[in-house]
Amino acid sequence: MISNYQSAEFPPSADVVIIGSGLSGAFIAHQLLNSNSPNRPKSVVMLEARNAASGATGRNGGHIKPDCYRGFTSYSILHGTDVAKAQCEFEAVNYQETAKFIHENKLAAEVDLVQYRSADVYLTSESWKTGLASYNGFKESGGDVSNIHVLNKAEAEESLRVRGCYGAITFPAASLWPYKLSIAVLRKGLDLGLSLQTNTPVTSVSPDTSGPWKVSTPRGLVMAGKVIHATNGYASYLLPELDGRIIPLKGHVSAITPPPAYMDQPLATSFAFISNDGYDYLIQRPGPEKYLIWGGGEVSHPKGLSGGFGDCDDRHVVSEVESYILNAPVEILRDWEESRASSGTSPEGAVAFSWSGIMGLSKDLLPFLGELPGKPGQYLAGGYHGHGPIIGAAMAAHKQISKIPFTGSARVGKELMKLGSIDMKKLTLETGGKSPMIVFEDSKLDLAAQWAHLGFTFKQGELFTATTRILVQDSIFDRFLLDALKSITLKYPVGQLFE
């Protein structure tokens, strides 16, 4: 069994040590050992703290789903349109190359590869506008959108069997069983000479006089010419300089038993269901059970959207998130509840399995790849996806930032308020409305009254600080109202425009 495989002898040294046995580690090992380069390493050792592919690779939702347009706006803001276009194009190529590798190595049946289209389904007006803006931005930058299709509400609901959406965008994608792919690639690595040591946690990587790097484990030391860190969300354990740069996030997935309507006619695409506060993702497995593999649900975390950040314990699920996932098909998939009710099946038994996994996210939405500064011979591959709340949390925690303006969802705004209150940061929040003007009883009421109307007339109110909402302390409400009306009538008297 590769899952708990340990090569016959524990190696005292290696040209390359890879820490982590997920898809990154497995493909890196295969690439190194399958190379015809004269620099091909003679020995490659892989050290895994638990069973092989037991981290996020073996626990994810089964998607090969490129972000071929949706991240364009976010990438553009952070890195410019050229990088944004290149990143979206790279995602599409990565999907194609992954599928090509699977087919060339005759692994499609083994890893349950299914190639079709994926649909980003937008559940709110705001998210739909954002999705269209990214699509149009990518298109206007010269990106190829010939195989990216935009569906209006009626088209999406009819063809995708969903309800309550504003539109959808579809593109080529696939699903598979990622654990099986990792195990298959590791098996190929073993055939090429990989020394795989599972259940062998690395406790430290330190310089040594007898070799570049000393890799310490409970089973002994390995002297390594090069060390590759492929532990993603756990990277900062051995590389403390990455603390706050690669942020672990606990994600949740459940396998849901479908009702007869979805057993008889399985879904023809994979999905992301996108709202203002995040998204869920879904595939339907092939095979007799036809489980729906549904992931996401961060919106229901009892600690808010940021509740999963920093949580590295994948042994348990958060019950509130599990409950949300169980109910999600009822809200989104057409005829789901009707089919379940007519068949007499109970929703309590619908979740066959639930599990969690730890992802690694970066602040700038891009991964860390390459040699570590100040540590020649140590390399990192990790931080494969970022998210807005991470940036917000980092800003809120930074001691040298005194004020944060924020435009976005109320949920993320609340998280910023909590984090900012630690050291009394000033916040300007636009969360579904303009920031309120707040008037207390010790204010200079005449000035407050003047600014009350100037704030929403200046530039026609198109400002984050426009005072279209005013909160007044109860004890001075009547006085303030009279002063405000007086100020407005003096500034803007009623009468003929040109008199």
* Structural domain contains residue 235: yes
Cβ atoms 153, 167 nearer than 8 A: yes
Asked whether residue 474 carries a pLDDT value surpassing 50, the answer given is yes
Please state whether 375 falls in left (phi above 0), alpha (psi between -120 and 50) or beta: beta
Dist CA 112 CA 139 (whole Å):
33
Asked whether residue 436 carries a pLDDT value surpassing 90, the answer given is no
Residues 66 and 28 in one domain: no
Cβ atoms 28, 60 nearer than 8 A: no
Cβ atoms 99, 64 nearer than 8 A: yes
Residues 152 and 252 in one domain: yes
* Structural domain contains residue 498: no
Cβ atoms 284, 291 nearer than 8 A: yes
Find the helix or strand (DSSP H, E) in which 182 lies. Answer: helix 178-191
Mean predicted confidence (pLDDT) in 21-38: 91
Task: Please confirm, yes or no, whether 415 is among the known catalytic residues.
Answer: no
Residue spans of beta strands (DSSP E) within 49-161: 63-64, 114-122, 149-152
- The pLDDT-based confidence of 161 (bands split at 50, 70, 90) is very high
CATH number of the domain to which 30 belongs = 3.50.50.60
| Residues pairing with 379 in the sheet | 228, 371
Cβ atoms 301, 319 nearer than 8 A: no
- The pLDDT-based confidence of 403 (bands split at 50, 70, 90) is low
Cβ atoms 130, 73 nearer than 8 A: yes
For residue 412, the number of C-alpha atoms closer than 13 Å in the C-beta half-sphere is 24
Mean predicted confidence (pLDDT) in 464-468: 63
Domain that holds residue 306: 59-176+247-361
* Structural domain contains residue 496: no
- The pLDDT-based confidence of 364 (bands split at 50, 70, 90) is confident
Please list, residue by residue across 303-331, b when 16 or more beta carbons sit within 10 angstroms of its beta carbon and e when fewer do. Answer: ebbbbbbebeebeebbeebbebbbebbee
Q: What is the pLDDT of residues 232-290, one digit of tens each?
A: 999 999 999 999 889 899 999 999 999 999 999 999 999 999 999 889 999 999 999 99
Rounded to the nearest integer, the mean pLDDT of the chain is: 86
Place of tokens 């739909």: 128
Of residues 166, 160, 142, 171, the one with CA closest to residue 70: 171
pLDDT at 458: 53
pLDDT at 459: 45
Q: Which long-range contacts (CB under 8 A, 24 or more apart) does 475-478 make?
A: 475/441, 476/439, 476/440, 476/441, 476/443, 476/445
pLDDT at 249: 92
Residues 267 and 345 in one domain: yes
pLDDT at 404: 58
Q: Is the dihedral of CA 240, 241, 246, 249 positive or negative?
A: positive
Residues 94 and 149 in one domain: yes
The percent of residues above 70 in pLDDT, for the chain, comes to 84
Residues 67 and 159 in one domain: yes
Of residues 92, 272, 98, 63, the one with CA closest to residue 184: 98
Number of domains comprising the chain: 4
Dist CA 261 CA 238 (whole Å):
49
Mean predicted confidence (pLDDT) in 321-343: 93
Dist CA 434 CA 468 (whole Å):
7
Which member of 140, 430, 441, 499 is catalytic?
430
Q: Per mean pLDDT, which range of 168-182, 317-331, 416-430 is the poorest?
A: 416-430
- The pLDDT-based confidence of 397 (bands split at 50, 70, 90) is very low
Residues 153 and 231 in one domain: no
Residues 262 and 131 in one domain: yes
- The pLDDT-based confidence of 395 (bands split at 50, 70, 90) is very low
Instruction: Tell me the two tokens of residue 62.
Output: 């089964």
* Structural domain contains residue 258: yes
pLDDT at 406: 57
Burial of 265 (0-12, 13-18, 19+ CB in 10 A): exposed
| Residues pairing with 368 in the sheet | 382
CATH number of the domain to which 300 belongs = 3.30.9.10
Residues 341 and 263 in one domain: yes
Residues 191 and 324 in one domain: no
Residues 270 and 151 in one domain: yes
- The pLDDT-based confidence of 369 (bands split at 50, 70, 90) is confident
- DSSP H helices in 235-347: 260-264, 319-332, 336-343
Asked whether residue 407 carries a pLDDT value surpassing 80, the answer given is no
Q: Is 319 helix (H, G, I), strand (E, B) or coil?
A: helix
Higher pLDDT, 378 or 305: 378
Asked whether residue 305 carries a pLDDT value surpassing 90, the answer given is no
* Structural domain contains residue 111: yes
- The pLDDT-based confidence of 367 (bands split at 50, 70, 90) is confident
Instruction: Tell me the two tokens of residue 437.
Output: 């003007």
Q: Per mean pLDDT, which range of 47-56, 173-182, 481-490 is the poorest?
A: 481-490
Residues 38 and 20 in one domain: yes
Residues 215 and 257 in one domain: no
Instruction: Tell me the two tokens of residue 8.
Output: 């016959």
* Structural domain contains residue 186: yes
Mean predicted confidence (pLDDT) in 107-120: 97
CB count within 10 Å of CB 45 equals 26
* Structural domain contains residue 497: no
Q: Is the dihedral of CA 269, 56, 251, 67 positive or negative?
A: negative
- The pLDDT-based confidence of 421 (bands split at 50, 70, 90) is low
* Structural domain contains residue 499: no
pLDDT at 69: 97
